A and B are shown apart, each in its own frame.
Chain A
Amino acid sequence: MVTPAFESILSNLAPSLRGLIFSLPENVLQSLEEIRVRKLRPLAIGFRGSSAFVTPQGELSANPAGAYLVSPEEFLLTLQIISRSSVYVFEEQLKQGFITLPGGHRVGVCGHFLLENGRIIGIKEVNGLNLRIAREIIGCAVPLLPKLLDESNQIGSTLIVSPPQGGKTTLLRDLTRLISTGSSSLNLAGCKVVVVDERSEIAGVYDGIPQLDVGPETDVLDACPKADGIRIAVRSLSPEVVVTDEIGTEEDVAALLEAVNSGVRIIATVHAGSWRELEARPSLQPLLQAETFVNAVLLSRRHGPGTVEGVVRLKRQPPGRIEVSGSA
């Protein structure tokens, strides 16, 4: 059955494209992850970790030759619907290559990027849109939460390590909701949480309102660069926990270290296929060596997105090496 939330994302497509997607088999619709609309190229979808082209008859095909070609008019109308005929309103988001939709869904935008002094100042000649369907899985972090509590029954700083599309943002969002709400069964009081949501993926803020449930005690710094956001949060919002996604640069690491040294706990995610890969990233070394995180959650796609491979406790050992112990 097509849910109203699902219908709301499809309403962003030109009517002809929407009709084609609606005519796909029910089981495909249920597992739809993304819709790729490219100007003068075949209409494609992503589902269950794979992709396929959509034919003019509304069937799936692995062959692009027989697929439905998106006309320039259909493409322009889709862009117009997505931007509410106001592309200029999304200029700042477009510099990062996406637009957030009501419901927290996101549209990746491809085109010609404009640079000034090496920095992206805009995008023109937009030729591709990737509608990514946000899936909120309420309760997916419930089994994980008890494993992240420290001796004083407080949430410990946690690093979620995951390959791309490993379900880390979904897990992070639900963890944020649980930490903010608290849990009577775990005797855990709700905490003041600040989400630094640089890519608007965690809370899916649209028109200033989080579209996804991140808890009652959560403030969101939407579209704010991570390093700046972490400093702003610590300085002015007195958080107990700061949540952020996809750390990676030296600035992110420096800001996280400052926050931890200010007594704030951190929940963050990072892209890596394994602990070994993570250790090989030079920019993250200061974090790993400074006892920043108490826990690490390792995710994979082995049994689908969000497979927890292990929860490990991290301890610093002299002279600064990380010892990994514990299990899933």
Chain B
Amino acid sequence: MLSFKMLGALIIISTSSEIGRRWAKTVELPVQILTDLIFALQGLETEISYALNPLQQAARRVAAGAQTSAVAGCFNHFADSLSERYESSSKLWLTTVETVLAKYPLAEKDLQLIGRLGDQLGLTNRDDQVKHIRQVRIALEASLAQAKEQCERYQGLYRKIGVTIGLAVVLLTW
């Protein structure tokens, strides 16, 4: 009988710990996406300033080098939508952000910031494009620092909460 109780307690604690770990991951995901996005923007800058690839091809190449499904999906979606010739690139980028990135746990202000990238995308010369992309990248770096701070603060907390709730349930039902 005791061994059954012990086994049950173990299952409860490991389940609640896993839930805590998953919560912790949700605060880690924005950090991963923002980090990947910053790398992606560096890649886009290179594609535009050195390779001189048209925007559609540049977006496709950036997507291929992305580490997260969020960023890869975002740039692939944008490249696909650029085939639609009769819509402005800024509108297409905004639609992409709303369709793809809004599904991920990113802060509203970060989504707005990423959306701003579309304002001048593809419509000016190389130097202006690089300046514009860098501006958005620098702003994203500030967001990343905040996201990392939040991640460090809440990641451990969520893990501990998971274990603590499991223990509490075991103690109450023992």
Give the B-binding residues of A (Cβ under 8 A): 11, 14-15, 73, 76-77, 79-81, 83-89, 91, 94, 122-124
**A14, A15, A85, A124 — which one has the most chain B CB atoms within 10 A of its CB?**
A85
A124 near B124 with CB under 8 A, answer: yes
Give the A-binding residues of B (Cβ under 8 A): 48, 52-56, 58, 82, 85-89, 121-126, 129
A-B pairs, top 5 by smallest CB distance, nearest first, are A85-B122, A86-B54, A85-B89, A88-B126, A86-B55
A14, B56: Cα distance in complex, Å: 19
A80 near B125 with CB under 8 A, answer: no
A80 near B123 with CB under 8 A, answer: yes
- Whole-angstrom distance between the Cβ of A242 and the nearest chain B Cβ: 28
B124 near A87 with CB under 8 A, answer: yes
A86 near B122 with CB under 8 A, answer: yes
What residue of chain B has the Cβ atom nearest to residue A79's Cβ? Answer: B123
15 A-B residue contacts at CB 8 Å? A15-B86, A76-B88, A81-B85, A83-B122, A84-B56, A85-B55, A85-B82, A85-B89, A85-B121, A87-B124, A88-B48, A88-B124, A88-B125, A88-B129, A91-B125
Please name 17 further chain A to chain B contacts, defined as beta carbons within 8 Å, in addition to the given A73-B88, A77-B87, A88-B126, sorted by A numbering: A76-B88, A76-B123, A80-B88, A80-B122, A81-B86, A83-B122, A84-B54, A85-B82, A86-B55, A87-B123, A87-B124, A88-B125, A89-B52, A89-B53, A89-B54, A91-B126, A124-B125
- Residues of B near A77 (CB, < 8 A) are 86-88
A73, B88: Cα distance in complex, Å: 9
- Residues of A near B122 (CB, < 8 A) are 80, 83, 85-88
A86, B125: Cα distance in complex, Å: 9
What residue of chain B has the Cβ atom nearest to residue A77's Cβ? Answer: B88
A82, B23: Cα distance in complex, Å: 48
What residue of chain B has the Cβ atom nearest to residue A81's Cβ? Answer: B85
A321, B48: Cα distance in complex, Å: 54
Main secondary structure of the interface of B (DSSP, over half): loop
A85 near B86 with CB under 8 A, answer: no
- Whole-angstrom distance between the Cβ of A84 and the nearest chain B Cβ: 5
What residue of chain A has the Cβ atom nearest to residue B130's Cβ? Answer: A88
What residue of chain B has the Cβ atom nearest to residue A95's Cβ? Answer: B125
What residue of chain A has the Cβ atom nearest to residue B54's Cβ? Answer: A86
- Whole-angstrom distance between the Cβ of B132 and the nearest chain A Cβ: 11
A126, B51: Cα distance in complex, Å: 24
A153, B121: Cα distance in complex, Å: 56
- Residues of B near A81 (CB, < 8 A) are 85-86
- Whole-angstrom distance between the Cβ of A143 and the nearest chain B Cβ: 42
B86 near A14 with CB under 8 A, answer: yes
A123, B54: Cα distance in complex, Å: 19
- Whole-angstrom distance between the Cβ of A320 and the nearest chain B Cβ: 48
- Residues of A near B87 (CB, < 8 A) are 77
- Whole-angstrom distance between the Cβ of A115 and the nearest chain B Cβ: 14
A14, B87: Cα distance in complex, Å: 9
- Residues of A near B48 (CB, < 8 A) are 88
Question: Within the complex, which residue of B52, B54, B125, B126 is in contact with A85, where a contact is CB–CB below 8 Å?
Answer: B54
B123 near A85 with CB under 8 A, answer: yes
- Whole-angstrom distance between the Cβ of A80 and the nearest chain B Cβ: 6
What residue of chain B has the Cβ atom nearest to residue A92's Cβ? Answer: B52
**A86, A94, A123 — which one has the most chain B CB atoms within 10 A of its CB?**
A86
- Residues of A near B123 (CB, < 8 A) are 76, 79-80, 83, 85, 87
A81, B122: Cα distance in complex, Å: 11
- Residues of A near B52 (CB, < 8 A) are 88-89
- Whole-angstrom distance between the Cβ of B40 and the nearest chain A Cβ: 18
A15, B123: Cα distance in complex, Å: 19
What residue of chain B has the Cβ atom nearest to residue A83's Cβ? Answer: B122
- Whole-angstrom distance between the Cβ of B99 and the nearest chain A Cβ: 18
**A15-B86, A77-B86 are known contacts. Are A84 and B55 too (CB-CB below 8 A)?**
yes
Question: Within the complex, which residue of B56, B58, B85, B125 is in contact with A87, where a contact is CB–CB below 8 Å?
Answer: B125
What residue of chain B has the Cβ atom nearest to residue A86's Cβ? Answer: B54
- Residues of B near A122 (CB, < 8 A) are 125
- Whole-angstrom distance between the Cβ of B116 and the nearest chain A Cβ: 17
A88, B102: Cα distance in complex, Å: 29
- Whole-angstrom distance between the Cβ of B125 and the nearest chain A Cβ: 5
A91, B128: Cα distance in complex, Å: 12
